[in-house]
Each structure stands twice: as C-alpha cells, then as structure tokens.
Amino acid sequence: MDYDVIYIGSGNAAWQGGRFLRKAGLKILIVEESLYGGTCANRGCNSKALLDAPYEIKALADNFEGCGKSGDFDVDWTALMELKRKRIANMAPFLDGKFKEYDLDVAHGKGIIIDEHTVQVGEEKFTTEKIVICTGLKPVIPDIPGKEYLHDSTDFLDIDELPKHAIIIGAGFVGMEFASILAEAGLEADVIIRGDMALKYFHQPYVQHVIEILKEKNIRFHFNETVTEIIKDENVAIDNPEERVLNLENALNTDDKLRDPDAKIDNKAYENAFTVNCESGLRLTGDYVIAAMGREANVEDIGLENVGLTYTNRGIKVNEYLQTEVPNIYASGDVADSGIAKLVTVAIHQSKYLGKALLEENPEKIVYPVVPAVAYTIPRIATVGVPAFVAEESDDYEVHRIQYGKSYSLELKNDRTAEAKVIVDKDLQIVGAEIMAADAENVANMFTFIINQKISLEDLDHMIYAFPSSSSVCLYKLHNIHYTF
C-alpha cells in the first residue's frame, strides 16, 4: 500500500487527526481539489468573523446613544473587504506550510474512490489501508427557475459592495447573521422563511428578540413562504436610488404580503433588480438574492457508488466509530451523518478521535461532551446542554432566568438586555444554558466547562471571579439559584 490513511479533504476534519497519525509513524496523504483548509478557513468562519467584528463594535457603541455617545461609527466595507482578502489569502499557504511541517503528503485535485483501497487524483492512483472522507457540506441551491441569480454565503463574504436591498432565502445561521450585518450597515433586507421560525435550534424567545431588533432596522420577515422563481428585471430605469424597492400599486394586507400576483412592482431603485416570487403570491424585489437554505453533503462525483456507499443530504451515515458501511472507510466532520451538530468544533473533535482510534486494534466508541452553538447575530444567542424548551416540559428540571444585563448594565457596557436561562436538575446540577448577550459565546463557553466538569452550584458560589466581566456577573447571579432551595 502507498499509504496507511488517505484523507479526502483538507479541512479541520482531516489534518487535525492526520498529524497525530503521522507522528505515530503512519504514512498520510491529504487530497484537496480546492484551497487547503476547506470552507471554514477560506470561505466561512474566518471571513465571517472578520467582516462581522466592526458591526458588533458599532452595535456596542449604539448602546450609549443618548448617554455618552458622540458622533457615529461607520464601517468602510471596501477597506474591510480589502483587509479580509489579504488575511484569508494567507490561510491556504499557511496550512500548506503546516502540512509540510507535519510531514503530510498532499495531492492537489479531486479525490475519487475507485475501490475500498484506491483513490484516484487526476491520472494518478494511490492505494491505502484506510480512507477518511472529509469533504464537508455545500450550500443548498433550490432547483427553481432563475436559480442562476442566487448567491451563496461564499459570494456574500467576498462581495465588493453591500447590496442596498438584499432578499435572503432562509433564516438559519447564514441568513440571520447576514441580516444582522446588513441591519447594522443601515441597509434593507427581506428574509423569506419556509417554516414558522428562524434559528429553530435556538431558544425562540431570544430569537424573537433578535428579530424585533432587526425589524426596527429595516429587515422584514416573511414566514411560511416557498420561493418558486427568481426573475432578473432587465432595462430598469434608475430614477431615485434611495427610493424603497417596493412601490406597490395594490394595498398590502396586515401581514405585509402582496397577495395579488398581478400587482405591479416598481423596480426603478436599482440597476440590477431581481424579483422573487413565492407560492403564496408574495413578490419581493431587490438588488441581491442570497440562498441561505442550509447546507448539504458535498459528495458529488467522489466515487461513493464504486464502493456501495449511500448518503442523504445530511451526509454519509457513520457508526459510533465514525465508520461507514464499508469497514475501512470513515467519514469525519460535516460530511458525516453522526447525529451531532455540524460545527467546526465537532469536526476537530472527530478528527482527533480518529487520530487515536485508527491506531488502536479495539478503539472505544466516540464520546461527545456537551457542544455549545452560537448564532453570531447582533446580539449573539447561544445554547449549550439541555435546551430550555425540553426542561420546561419536564419535571426533572428547573429553568431559572438570570437578567444579569439589567442588574449590571454599567459593568456590561450598557448591554441591558443581556440574560441567560440556566437549567438545573433535581440535584441542583447545571445541565444546560441559553444565553442572549453581546458576548454570548464567552458565557456559553463558561457554561460548557461547568456542565462538562460537573461543577456544582455550591462550588461556583465559593469561587472568586474577575470583576467586572459578563461571566462574573452571570456567575454571581447563580448564587440566587443555590439559595432559593
């Protein structure tokens, strides 16, 4: 065999574990058809974090409107995008250097599984004892007329100029986070949601709070709508660029939905105008349409049929050892249908697990600690452990609301709405938390540590924390839970 393990894909799901296997003496090949590092490094997490940060700062500054703020904080998107492109352009070369440092072989091209022990890259074939599929996910693009006019998250995170009026199809992580950026930039957007809720895996009262903030900033929401087509409006006359996109000749109903499919729409606001039609008769127009309808398994044309592997949109089914139906072929990261959240942190955990498991004759099953998830909206919302909606329907838990922003607004940069809902079991052990705050991600990490390490309320009550800080004021409030029983 040429290699002990071949990874198809070069993201965190691959190299994090691959380097440990190489250190243990195994010969490793990483196959990558695009940029080293995959989506998170080059087209996702890092780009979003860099572009979002100034708008987060702007929102924090706005907390002091009327009580100390003077002037406006404006974000120069052009300069910000220039910085983003420079930073992100360094990621793939950086990882190339790391792969050399870790002595990992790399083949650049599309990896196609020929049989259980062979992967072809271009004209070259490599043999291996084990294969690990780490090809991740790709954006869902609906098969509707006009789909060629849709932009995905990669497009938006590399756009030269923000759209004046975006139409966002979907309200998951991507849709809601992009809506927050557009809102803070003072621009307009319409968000179309197929179901009756946004960010369905997060605490809905907090999601609704974010929605209300976005509504105040010219972001409109349309629930229970299905997009049927997208039309590019040619030869649009530009009369008044500042005019709102919709100039409806027929009255809107109380749901702000245009129900008359024959109603006319004035598209003169934008040179490039697109009309989005929905099944209900709702018609919206704007200058940029974003597909934010989730992601699906990126496994097209990689040869799964050659080894009898099947998959769904959620990915390739794996067992508790991350094995597929073919014993020597594994899947790691977002492409693995493992029943756990598809996050980069989970991909790293799985890759490290395989880095150990593939060295052992009888490995233990993978074990997941509680996994925090954060929606980087403005403000942020986060969840970890037992969800509040589960706890509220069970006699085994108590849910305690901690409005620490209201009590400690001076210490929290005037973030008066910051709060958490903490879930405890009958033994007063913290088992879950929902957070809404400017820095919810940091508070979520604190609760993740508490839950995973099973730190009791009494233990927390006897610790001393750095003050002022969001974690300290939230923890001090836990004192009340301990002494209410």
Domain ranges of the chain: 3-139+295-357, 147-291, 379-482
Contact 232, 149 (CB under 8 A): yes
Helical H runs in 164-271?
Answer: 173-184, 204-215
Q: Which residues contact 37 (CB under 8 A, 6 or more apart)?
A: 10, 11, 91, 92, 95
High-pLDDT (> 90) share of the chain, %: 81
Q: Indicate if the pLDDT at residue 371 is higher than 60.
A: yes
State the fold for domain 147-291.
FAD/NAD(P)-binding domain (3.50.50)
Distance, CA of 423 to CA of 284 (rounded, Å): 41
Q: Say whether 379-482 and 3-139+295-357 share the same fold.
A: no
> Residue 285 has what pLDDT?
95
Helical H runs in 66-123?
Answer: 77-89, 91-101
> Residue 476 has what pLDDT?
86
Model confidence pLDDT, tens digit, residues 88-108: 999 999 999 999 999 999 999
> Residue 458 has what pLDDT?
87
Q: Indicate if the pLDDT at residue 387 is higher than 90.
A: yes
> Residue 239 has what pLDDT?
38
Confidence of residue 349 (pLDDT cuts 50, 70, 90): very high
Would you state the structure tokens that stand for residue 164, as one six-digit string?
Answer: 């004046």
Q: Indicate if the pLDDT at residue 146 is higher than 70.
A: yes
> Residue 403 has what pLDDT?
92
Mean pLDDT lowest for which of 281-295, 372-386, 461-475?
461-475
Confidence of residue 265 (pLDDT cuts 50, 70, 90): very low
Would you state the structure tokens that stand for residue 252, as one six-digit string?
Answer: 């809107």
Q: Indicate if the pLDDT at residue 281 is higher than 50.
A: yes
The phi and psi torsions of 23 (rounded to 5 degrees) equal -65, -30
Nearest to 133 by CA among 292, 328, 284: 328
Model confidence pLDDT, tens digit, residues 149-179: 999 999 999 999 999 999 999 999 999 999 9
pTM (two decimals): 0.91
Confidence of residue 202 (pLDDT cuts 50, 70, 90): very high
> Residue 483 has what pLDDT?
65
User: What letter would DSSP give residue 392?
Assistant: T
Confidence of residue 270 (pLDDT cuts 50, 70, 90): low
CATH architecture of 379-482: 2-Layer Sandwich (3.30)
Contact 104, 4 (CB under 8 A): no
Mean pLDDT of the chain: 91
Distance, CA of 12 to CA of 205 (rounded, Å): 33
Contact 16, 355 (CB under 8 A): yes
Q: How far is CA 351 from the centre of its chain?
A: 19
> Residue 244 has what pLDDT?
38
> Residue 235 has what pLDDT?
52
Confidence of residue 383 (pLDDT cuts 50, 70, 90): very high
- The pairing of strands 283-286 and 380-385 is unpaired
Would you state the structure tokens that stand for residue 61, as one six-digit string?
Answer: 């500054």
Distance, CA of 180 to CA of 252 (rounded, Å): 26
Q: Indicate if the pLDDT at residue 263 is higher than 80.
A: no
Distance, CA of 445 to CA of 439 (rounded, Å): 10
> Residue 254 has what pLDDT?
36
Distance, CA of 38 to CA of 257 (rounded, Å): 40
Distance, CA of 141 to CA of 135 (rounded, Å): 18
Distance, CA of 118 to CA of 105 (rounded, Å): 16
> Residue 261 has what pLDDT?
42
Q: Which residues contact 173 (CB under 8 A, 6 or more apart)?
A: 199, 375, 376
CATH architecture of 3-139+295-357: 3-Layer(bba) Sandwich (3.50)
Model confidence pLDDT, tens digit, residues 25-74: 999 999 999 999 999 999 999 999 999 999 999 999 999 988 888 998 99
Model confidence pLDDT, tens digit, residues 183-193: 999 999 999 99
Contact 256, 278 (CB under 8 A): no
